[in-house]
Amino acid sequence: MKIFQVFSGNLGDTLNALPVLSGIYKATGEPIEIIYREKMKMFQGIREVLEYQECIGKVTFENEVTSDVKARFMGLTDDFEKHINRPWETVRLDESFREQNPDIKYEIDDNFILNTPTYNMSSDTIFVGDRKKDSRADHRRKFNLIESCGKVPPDKVVYLNYNDPLLYNISLIKSLDKPFISTFTGISIIADLCNIENIVLYDDEIGNWDNKTIDYSFNKHYYRDRKSKAVHVDDFNFSEYEA
């Protein structure tokens, strides 16, 4: 089954579809060939990450398909039901797909966990996933929030190296014995899909993003019954997590 994820481009927003794709696969038994916008290529190793998931048979980018390809579409609905636990982006993706593909009956796989290789690298080091500056990234929000906030001692943490393959970084954060410290960025949504303890730091900019409350922004991307928690940088106490 080919599915074109029309609004793919931002890492976290795009991967919010995985519980939907997993549910479709479990209901149909058909591995999915997911088609992404070209922009997704900026995330090093995204193809390997997706093709490591049971529900994905193949990752294809828009320039790799011909104009006559027959694919089902997954967009984003504007009018959607605000689920009590499920990320609202996941809901929007799901409702869009159902509207355009009423012949497919499935349930969202809310138990979906990102699958990764096991490297036997359990670590009690505290790792950080900051939002690093990149000319191709969304520039509406600031970069390096964690590094610049003064609340996370640089000599007591290790920052993820985004030059490393994404599949390796995901395997690393899944192996952590201590909480992962992140912010509102793609790697943080990945941590939520791994169901690990995930401290999502934010500042006043995100606290009033698009004139929405922090609860709205958090609910948009994270499961409320998993292990992610939003904490304002002014309220963050690093010593609570290093013991």
CB 71 within 8 A of CB 3: yes
State yes or no: pLDDT of 230 exceeds 80. yes
Do 134 and 85 belong to one domain?
no
Is there a domain that residue 8 lies in? Answer: yes
Domain that holds residue 19: 2-100
Q: Which of 100, 117, 139 is the last residue of a domain?
A: 100
State yes or no: pLDDT of 187 exceeds 90. yes
Is there a domain that residue 115 lies in? Answer: no
Do 90 and 15 belong to one domain?
yes
pLDDT tens for each residue of 11-64? 999 999 999 999 999 999 999 999 999 999 989 899 999 999 999 999 999 989
Is there a domain that residue 96 lies in? Answer: yes
Do 76 and 18 belong to one domain?
yes
Do 87 and 147 belong to one domain?
no
Do 7 and 93 belong to one domain?
yes
The model's confidence at residue 141, banded by pLDDT at 50, 70 and 90, is low
Do 96 and 138 belong to one domain?
no
Is there a domain that residue 22 lies in? Answer: yes
How many angstroms separate the CA atoms of 23 and 213, rounded? 30
Is there a domain that residue 114 lies in? Answer: no
Is there a domain that residue 110 lies in? Answer: no
pLDDT of amino acid 132: 63
Is there a domain that residue 202 lies in? Answer: yes
pLDDT tens for each residue of 61-94? 998 988 788 999 999 998 898 999 999 999 999 9
How many angstroms separate the CA atoms of 181 and 43, rounded? 20
